[in-house]
Amino acid sequence: MENSVRNFFKLSTLLCLILWLSGCAAIGLTVPAAAVSGSAAGVNYSVTNNAYKTISYPVADVETALNKALKKMDIRETKFTREEDKVSISAATDTLDISIDLEKVTPTVTKIEVSAKKGVFLKDKSTATEIIVQTEKNLQVKK
């Protein structure tokens, strides 16, 4: 019995360490809107620490606004793929690898999901959030 408790403790500690190193200490939790700045309100985070938001614009409009945001932020696009209802963009800075997905929810609604990785385990949620914020600003200017 004592051996089982010891093994359980070791396994639990290892699992917590793995989750902490991957940035997933708060599994399944989203950041409440009040905890972020006003312009980033409504940006949520997935279990894998990707920033995402659903916005009321067609995919084509969001793609145009996103390209403008990436250019403004000096983030270079490295790969682009388009499928039927999804656009995927890979981008990079000197220190980050960025993946962006635009997914059609309806003809006038698009989900944007951004992952900014620094190395294997670390994610830069603030940069991912800022990409979404800048994209939204570009869409609002278009109105």
Q: pLDDT tens-digit profile of 36-84?
A: 444 566 787 766 678 899 999 999 999 999 999 999 999 999 999 999 8
Q: In terms of Cα–Cα distance, which of 87, 82, 75 is closest to 134?
A: 75
Radius of gyration over every alpha carbon of the chain, rounded to an integer in angstroms? 18
Two tokens at 8? 């359980």
Closest CA to 135 of 85, 70, 44: 70
DSSP state letter for 137: H
Whole-number pLDDT of residue 25: 45
For the CA atoms of 115, 28, 34, 96, what is the dihedral angle to 10 degrees? -20
Summarize pLDDT for 82-118 with one digit per residue, the tens: 998 999 999 999 999 999 999 999 999 999 999 999 9
